[in-house]
Amino acid sequence: MRALLAGGAGYVGAHTAVALLEAGHEVVLLDDLSNASAAVAERIGRITGKDVSLVSGDATDEGAIAAVFDEHGPFDAIVHLAAFKAVGESTQKPLDYYDNNLNTTFALLRVGMARGIRSFLFSSTGTVYSDPADLPFTEESKTSVDLSNAYSKSKRMNEVVLEDVARVNPDLDVTVLRYFNPVGAHPSGLIGEDPKGVPNNLMPYVQRVAIGELDRVGVFGTDYDTPDGTGLRDYIHVVDLAEGHVAALEKGEPGYTVYNLGTGEPVSVLQLIASFEKAIGRELPKDLLERRAGDVTATYCDPSKAERELGWKAKLTIDDASRDAWKWQSQNPQGFAGV
């Protein structure tokens, strides 16, 4: 199968490209490089021994997308990973988030359907689930567009659009993958998470403290109603997440389908930090701080639908993720900037 990965030079995109190539598929990456490095293409080539084309371009621009189809197509599928994804930033720049995260979908859908793609895979998020009473979240759990930030709202809005588009295009496979918390890196240490500036997310922040770029880990809240008082999340190794994309694309069933991609195992902030400390063999300096505004106590999924229908199940643990994240970060202290 030949797939166009929009946002394909990003953290999830690069790992998904590796997984697709290693499963015998072909990929072309389209990325505006606003939060990714062109160096990733060479790294993907080193890991897989295969050539991968990276086109620098704007996935909101139908002309640019059409040019990729002219030059590198035809494609059987589009994997849409091209979105702004910083939760905190999205509360400050809602228009940028709605503009980019919706117009990329509109443009990719219009060109892709005009060019006869069979599958459209969409990167969504477990943060669309709205009622903690439904934990662990299944794909039938309540969702809402009335969420705490523009990033999550834009993802739920995209799902509403995709469900309606699928309804009037019954031969099209529209698959929505609701990610929980992606962490870790490819075991080669050649690709990994490389957020620009100071990371908002826990695992990359811990990685930067471990290499000495940042001083101390801040634990946001120790008074949650959880076993150790810190927030619970469903941390899924990015390699497992990438395999979930392969399984979804290979199933390729027409119609609108949603899958949770998570481990189903809630892990606390302190447990993640302890796992990372085990991986590096030393303790990290940490401060126990107040809660971060907008954080929920717990979010984790029931991943059994993906196992039942896709034959996919997360295999890697938080310790695997810590080991692999450390290998990536210690081998690439400046991320891709150092390449």
**Residues interacting with ligand WQD, by CB under 6 A?**
87, 125, 127, 179, 181-182, 200-202, 205, 218-221, 231, 233, 269, 292, 295
Which residue lies nearer to ligand WQD by CB, 16 or 172? Answer: 16
Please report how close the Cβ of residue 254 comes to ligand WQD at its closest, in angstroms.
Answer: 26
Report how far Cα 200 is from the mean position of its chain's Cα atoms. Answer: 15
DSSP string, 272-313: HHHHHHHHHTS---EEEEPPPTT--SEE-B--HHHHHHH---
CB of 63 to ligand WQD, least distance (A): 29
* 146 within 8 A of 199, measured Cβ to Cβ: no
Read off the tokens for 113.
Answer: 């359907």
Comparison of 201 and 332: residue with beta carbon closer to ligand WQD: 201
CA pair distance 321, 324, nearest whole angstrom: 5
Q: Which is nearer to ligand WQD, 73 or 231 (CB)?
A: 231
Q: How far apart are CA 37 and CA 35, in angstroms?
A: 7
Q: Which residues contact 274 (CB under 8 A, 6 or more apart)?
A: none
Give the pair of three-digit tokens for residue 329.
């970060």
Could you tell me the smallest distance in angstroms from the CB atom of residue 147 to ligand WQD? 11
Which helix (H) or strand (E) is 168 found in, with range?
helix 150-168
- In the complex, residue closest to ligand WQD by CB: 231
- Looking at the Cβ atoms of 65 and 269, the one nearer to ligand WQD is 269
* Of 97, 151, 224, 256, catalytic: 151
Q: Which is nearer to ligand WQD, 119 or 181 (CB)?
A: 181
Q: How far is CA 159 from CA 1, 30, 128, 252, 339, in A?
A: 24, 22, 10, 18, 37
Alpha carbon 264 to its chain centroid, in Å, reads 16
Contact 149, 125 (CB under 8 A): no
In DSSP notation, 57-124 reads --TT-HHHHHHHHHHH---SEEEE------HHHHHH-HHHHHHHHHHHHHHHHHHHHHTT-SEEEEEE
Q: How far is the CB of 84 from ligand WQD (least distance, A)?
A: 11
* Closest separation in Å from C-beta 106 to ligand WQD: 20
Q: Supply the minimum distance, in Å, between the C-beta of residue 135 and ligand WQD.
A: 14
Is residue 151 annotated as part of the catalytic site, yes or no?
yes
Active site residues: 151
